[in-house]
Amino acid sequence: MAEALRELTVGTGAGIETEDMILNIGPQHPSTHGVLRLKLALDGERVVTAEPIIGYMHRGAEKLFEVRDYRQIIVLANRHDWLSAFANELGVALAVERMMGIEVPERAVWLRTALAELNRVLSHLMFLGSYPLELGAITPVFYAFREREALQAIMEEVSGGRMHYMFNRVGGVKEEVPAGWTRRAREVIGQVRGRLPDLDRIIRGNEIFLARTVGVGVLSAEQAAAFGASGPVARASGLDFDLRRDEPYLAYGQLDVPVVTRTAGDCHARFEVLLDQVHVSLDLAEQCLTRLDQIGGPVNVRLPKVVKAPEGHTYAWTENPLGVNGYYLVSRGEKTPWRMKLRTASYANVQALSTLLPGTLVPDLVAILGSMFFVVGDIDK
């Protein structure tokens, strides 16, 4: 009996009794986009169990919504995923507009769609540069940031902000775009599209990158669905779901939205989905800009001095860069929400780490962690 127990506890050393080591990764670690803690049980270099521990960046956004009026909550909402600020603002505005029965002007709808896709590209480029960096490849981040800077200039020109745009308003957008902006935006999109193959060539087929990502951190379609994963993480596992196509909002119902999927579900598949999705978003943004040149009219509606949503509740969801974001709004007819619940993409995606990490080696841990494409502020809210 004693001999059998000893054999059960053998790790990597033959005939040597061992016990699992508990290792904390974090709560501060350079391979996360924010402050996350992983509690690992290790048998040698192999992960036995993994527990993501969140909450280190919790700012209580949902409670703060309850004491801010419908104009003020937008500035809070655009900060939980700091890479997707425009998309975050948009979801809140859509929920409030639905509650109030506001019909947004057509020009504002197309402008929102164009900016949402440009924001999606900016978010994706951040991960396309930082993920190889986490695996030791320095060069790709310079290529990714070259394209980000070009697109940031366009977003800054139209909104005045580089990360927290504050351009959405209940009923439309803040103001009309500067003269000639659509032409300049199309020129930048053309430049970025022409230079993206540089990033593609340097990393997608790189033999070191392939060795670190192919077959590593496989998330099956069933597991992705069970954890409520969405966005690039879920589509890399074969879940063919995208709200822009399946439940269109804004102008997506008038656009043909190709959905990029893979079936491998590993780190490399997730990276490929992100890279290919950039091309799709650039095409969609360009189509929206062409449409904007053909239509005129206002970009917002006139609101009363004090905005009050009628009593009731509604749910709006959007296809954010990292996945599905949901906004559940409950109103009691006052100028502040009674409840605004956020369903963030990162929160659902990161839960899968408890299934993905056990059985892997510590060197693969960072590769898997980075490929889940989450922002910790989006988890903790």
- Buried (b) or exposed (e) across 190-207, using 16+ Cβ within 10 A? eebeeebeebbebbeebe
Give 264-319 pLDDT, tens digit per residue: 999 999 999 999 999 999 999 999 999 999 998 999 999 988 999 999 999 999 99
Identify the CA nearest to 111 among candidates 88, 86, 91, 92.
86
Residue with tokens 């048998």: 43
The answer to whether residues 22 and 99 belong to one domain is no
Bridge partners of 169, per DSSP, are 172
The answer to whether residues 331 and 312 belong to one domain is yes
**pLDDT band for position 18 (cuts 50, 70, 90):** low
CA atoms within 13 Å, Cβ hemisphere of 282: 23
The answer to whether residues 21 and 69 belong to one domain is no
The answer to whether residues 45 and 93 belong to one domain is no
d(CA 45, CA 95): 47
Q: Determine the structural domain holding residue 213 and report its residue range.
A: 61-380
The answer to whether residues 13 and 107 belong to one domain is no
DSSP string, 215-230: TSS---HHHHHHTT--
pLDDT over 50 at 201, yes or no: yes
The answer to whether residues 47 and 65 belong to one domain is no
The answer to whether residues 47 and 75 belong to one domain is no
pLDDT at 30: 52
The answer to whether residues 47 and 176 belong to one domain is no
For residues 352 and 224, is the Cβ–Cβ distance under 8 A?
yes
> Is the Cα torsion angle 177, 182, 187, 189 positive or negative in sign?
positive
The answer to whether residues 33 and 108 belong to one domain is no
The answer to whether residues 77 and 222 belong to one domain is yes
pLDDT over 50 at 82, yes or no: yes
Give 46-73 pLDDT, tens digit per residue: 899 998 888 888 888 899 999 999 989 9
Give 101-143 pLDDT, tens digit per residue: 999 999 999 999 999 999 999 999 999 999 998 888 899 999 9
**pLDDT band for position 205 (cuts 50, 70, 90):** confident
d(CA 90, CA 257): 19
For residues 324 and 242, is the Cβ–Cβ distance under 8 A?
no
| Three-class DSSP category at 173 | strand
pLDDT over 90 at 377, yes or no: no
d(CA 231, CA 274): 9
d(CA 163, CA 71): 19
Give 337-366 pLDDT, tens digit per residue: 999 999 999 998 888 888 899 989 988 988
Percentage of residues of the chain with pLDDT beyond 90? 67
Give me the chain's average pLDDT, please.
89
- The CATH number given to whatever domain includes residue 230 is 1.10.645.10
> Could you give the number of structural domains in the chain?
2
Give 180-191 pLDDT, tens digit per residue: 999 999 999 999
The answer to whether residues 159 and 29 belong to one domain is no
The answer to whether residues 25 and 108 belong to one domain is no
Identify the CA nearest to 54 among candidates 37, 39, 40.
37
